[in-house]
Amino acid sequence: MASLKIKYAKGVVTLFAVCLIGTATAAPNGNGDDKEKKEVKVESEKALVNQTWYFTGNFSNDATDSRNYSSDPDDAQPCELPFETICQIEAPESPTTDGQPHMEAPVDGVTVQDQIIEALSSLSGPNPNPTLNSTVTGFKAE
């Protein structure tokens, strides 16, 4: 009789341990809702596809203002020496404003706007060194 009670106690302890392990491993996995939410989010995000935008302004215009760009090369001056301002950029279209580049789009850990500012700074100073980057693909005269 005593051995039967011992076997019963071992069985209860084993069953409790299995239930505890099952609960502990199931809790971090959740019930699947997180996975479903992630899948929906991925489907709703629009892929950012770069296109060429031509700066229609001059040296006195803000090269980080998306309204100063056109996708039509005939709207802008050609990219040529002397290099004094932005000529053209590669950026996706704005998700909120058709016909304008998306200045907040991510590029190499920064934004399109940050890369334009970086390229513009390479044109100034006592020893300008015009430097292109992933966004700015050409310079032009004023």
Asked if 26 and 65 sit in the same domain, the reply is no
In this structure, the answer to whether residues 59 and 20 fall within a common structural domain is no
Q: Are 57 and 126 in the same domain?
A: yes
Higher-confidence residue: 12 or 91? 91
Mean pLDDT, residues 12-26 taken together: 58
In this structure, the answer to whether residues 34 and 71 fall within a common structural domain is: no
Same domain, 73 and 123: yes
Same domain, 101 and 33: no
User: By residue range, what is the domain housing residue 10?
Assistant: 2-44
pTM of the complete model beyond 0.85 = no
* Residue 74 contacts residue 80 (beta carbons within 8 Å): no
Answer yes or no: do 67 and 123 share one domain: yes
How confident is residue 117, by pLDDT bands cut at 50, 70 and 90? very high
- What percentage of the chain carries pLDDT values higher than 90? 61
